[in-house]
């Protein structure tokens, strides 16, 4: 059953980013899911990126990250990525999802709804 999203704050969004390699993508993806900033992070290795950076045309092998989260987690996700991503200026593109499978969209919403407001590490002693 497909659903048209209706609640702008809880709308599921797709965030696209890139990583220098799979291991960095795994580390960041795991941290995003553990902190409930993302419900899921897909890693797509083997992408060749051609881009202009500081006046020179560059070519690099990268890994694309597809991050599923909600609109109300976007600012926290963006802040976390700016702080932890290894790139000086990480690619972060958020796209609205017009419709999707109701069960999947509900799962994303529940996976990022923790009641926690930040990405602070939990105290292992607690």
Domain ranges of the chain: 2-112
**Who contacts 53 (Cβ-Cβ below 8 Å, separation ≥6)?**
none
CATH topology of domain 2-112: Alpha-Beta Plaits (3.30.70)
State the greatest distance between any 2 C-alpha atoms of the chain, in Å, as a whole number: 50
pLDDT tens readout for residues 99-115: 899 999 999 999 998 65
pLDDT tens readout for residues 30-60: 999 999 999 999 999 999 999 999 999 999 9
Q: Determine contact, residues 70/12, Cβ cutoff 8 Å.
A: yes
Nearest Cα residue to 81 out of 7, 29, 11:
29
Measured in degrees and rounded to the nearest 5, phi and psi for residue 59 equal: -135, 125
């Amino acid at each position: 059953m497909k659903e048209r999203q209706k609640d702008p704050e809880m709308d599921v969004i797709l965030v696209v980013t890139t990583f220098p390699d799979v291991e960095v993508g795994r580390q960041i993806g795991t941290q995003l899911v553990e902190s409930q900033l993302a419900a899921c992070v897909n890693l797509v290795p083997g992408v060749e990126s051609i881009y202009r950076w500081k006046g020179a045309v560059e070519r690099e092998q990268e890994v694309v990250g597809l991050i599923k989260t909600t609109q109300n987690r976007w600012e926290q996700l963006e802040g976390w990525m700016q702080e932890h991503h290894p790139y000086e200026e990480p690619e972060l593109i958020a796209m609205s999802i017009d419709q999707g499978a109701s069960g999947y969209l509900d799962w994303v919403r529940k996976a990022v709804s923790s009641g926690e407001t930040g990405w602070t590490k939990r105290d292992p002693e607690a």
